Amino acid sequence: MADSSSSSLPGPLPDGIVPPEVVDRTEKRWVMAMAVMLVVMMAVIIVTGITGALHPSSNVEIVDPQSIHLRGEFVESNLGTAVETDGSVTVRIVAETYAFVPHCVTVPAGAPVKFRLTSADVVHGFLLPHTNVNTMVVPGFVAEVHTSFAAPQEYLMPCHEFCGLGHHAMWAHVSVVPQERFANLSPAERTTCARH
């Protein structure tokens, strides 16, 4: 945008020197731009909050945290690693103060793995370093993450959302084993930390 005040600037300045008037004008424009962005972002948060549309971005799937232990896919007998008919693997974990249930799961390397997590109480976090697995686990919602592991590895990670006094002691353990080894494990062995 042309600015008539620029014509009143002093003559050419040495290379690299910006006239103070130009600095002032540019700063004011940036402040205005930042203020507009701030207002827009605050408006989005307020509107989505009021309309109930504010969800974790990973997966908008609602679950009743008070009944997850009683019915549905997160009952205790259904937790852990399950092999689907297409050869992929689904892992279901409940996060609660201060543990992941089950606290250790075994998955095969080289196969699609889907993690489905929910919380029984407060916000927890689930992260496997150097993978795309990094999600908040929010009560009332199912967090779903799709990934696969190229090679066998052990992942040991703490909950990464502060959830209370026992937060530092809340760990998940994901053991990635070769496909042949995984195939020989019983369903119970895939859902425990038993040595295998």
Stretch of 38-46, 139-147, 157-165, 181-189 contacting ligand CUA, by CB under 6 A? 157-165
Between the alpha carbon of residue 83 and those of residues 107, 134, 146, 186, the distances in Å are 9, 22, 14, 11
Q: Where are the alpha helices (DSSP H) in 51-159?
A: none
CA separation for the pair 43, 161 (Å, rounded): 26
- Beta-bridge partners for 154: 175
Of the residues 117, 159, 176, 177, which one makes contact with ligand CUA according to CB under 6 A? 159
Q: How far is the CB of 39 from ligand CUA (least distance, A)?
A: 33
Site track 72-111 with ligand CUA (rule: CB under 6 A), x = hit: ----------------------------------------
Q: Which stretch binds ligand CUA (CB under 6 A): 37-45, 86-94, 102-110, 161-169?
A: 161-169
Q: Where are the alpha helices (DSSP H) in the chain?
A: 20-50, 179-183
176 contributes a contact to ligand CUA by CB under 6 A = no
Which amino acid is it at 55?
H
Among 143, 170, 172, 174, binds ligand CUA (CB under 6 A): 170
When asked if residue 167 is in the footprint of ligand CUA (CB under 6 A), the reply is: yes
Q: DSSP code of 146?
A: E
CA of 145: how far to CAs of 111, 120, 137, in Å? 14, 18, 11
Question: How far, in Å, CA of 19 to CA of 13, rounded?
Answer: 8
Interaction between residue 169 and ligand CUA (CB under 6 A) = no
Question: Between 79 and 163, whose beta carbon lies closer to ligand CUA?
Answer: 163
Told to check if 30 binds ligand CUA by CB under 6 A, we report no
